């Protein structure tokens, strides 16, 4: 099982924003591994001009680190989705502890959720268990299901060397790796054209 680093087992810290340096615990459940600090710092540097006021979806929320980091940096809304009751309890407790506004937590299977009624998001965080096919399946459902605003960003984490194939209309805008973790930020090609 992947652990994010010495001293961080079942704990993560918010890197920047109004809750900077706050440390939070998460349930000791299989497959939960917060994005390493270095990865989150890189990701939010990429998103620094768009996260404030954004509507975000933290699918496969796990520790909730990505969504809480987004709220800390000024996201308007973050919906956290996870199938584990302990995760839902923990993320709700974090939101209460921090006095966070704009956070919504839903206990649901991620793929079943994406097959339900859609709503528009500007940023979607996808960090499912590395050993699953959930990343590919969720990308397809997001792309086809009316979940993504016209200029939405899709963030993905995966085992290094196992980047998922994207739909033909998508392109990777940024990518990197840290240890055994690969990560990328993607957007529809049409969104790039609209900016030019």
Query: Which of 80, 78, 39 lies closest to 56 in space, CA to CA?
Result: 78
Tell me, which fold does domain 11-195 have in CATH? Rossmann fold (3.40.50)
Residue 195's pLDDT band (cuts 50, 70, 90): low
Query: Which of 38, 34, 39 lies closest to 9 in space, CA to CA?
Result: 34
- The pLDDT of residue 1 is 32
Q: What is the mean pLDDT of the chain?
A: 87
Strands (E), 2-120: 11-13, 23-25, 55-59, 77-82, 103-107
**Token pair in block for residue 48:** 């620094």
Spatial distance between the Cα atoms of 125 and 96, rounded to a whole number of angstroms: 22
**Token pair in block for residue 162:** 């196992």
Domain residue ranges in the chain: 11-195
Q: Residue 145 in contact with residue 114, Cβ under 8 Å?
A: yes
Which run of H or E residues covers position 28?
none
**Token pair in block for residue 128:** 């499912």
- The pLDDT of residue 61 is 92
DSSP, collapsed to helix, strand or coil, labels residue 83 as coil
Q: Against a cut of 0.95, is the pTM above it?
A: no
Tell me the pLDDT tens digit for each residue of 97-142: 999 999 999 999 999 999 999 999 999 999 988 777 899 899 999 9
Burial of 176 (0-12, 13-18, 19+ CB in 10 A): middle
Identify which has the larger pLDDT, 60 or 193. 60
């Amino acid at each position: 099982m992947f652990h994010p680093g010495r001293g961080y087992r079942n704990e993560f810290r918010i890197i920047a924003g109004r809750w900077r340096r706050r440390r939070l615990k998460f349930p000791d459940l299989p497959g939960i591994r917060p994005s390493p600090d270095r990865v989150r710092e890189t990701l939010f540097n990429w998103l620094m001009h768009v996260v404030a006021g954004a509507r975000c979806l933290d699918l496969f929320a796990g520790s909730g680190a990505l969504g809480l980091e987004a709220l800390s940096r000024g996201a308007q809304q973050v919906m956290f989705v996870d199938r584990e009751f302990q995760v839902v309890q923990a993320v709700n407790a974090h939101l209460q502890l921090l006095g966070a506004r704009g956070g919504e937590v839903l206990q649901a299977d991620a793929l079943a959720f994406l097959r339900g009624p859609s709503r528009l998001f500007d940023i979607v965080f996808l960090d499912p268990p590395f050993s699953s096919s959930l990343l590919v399946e969720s990308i397809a459902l997001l792309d086809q299901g009316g979940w993504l605003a016209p200029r939405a960003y899709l963030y993905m984490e995966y085992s290094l060397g196992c980047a998922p194939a994207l739909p033909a209309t998508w392109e990777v805008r940024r990518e990197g790796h840290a240890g055994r973790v690969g990560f990328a930020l993607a957007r529809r090609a049409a969104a790039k054209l609209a900016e030019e």
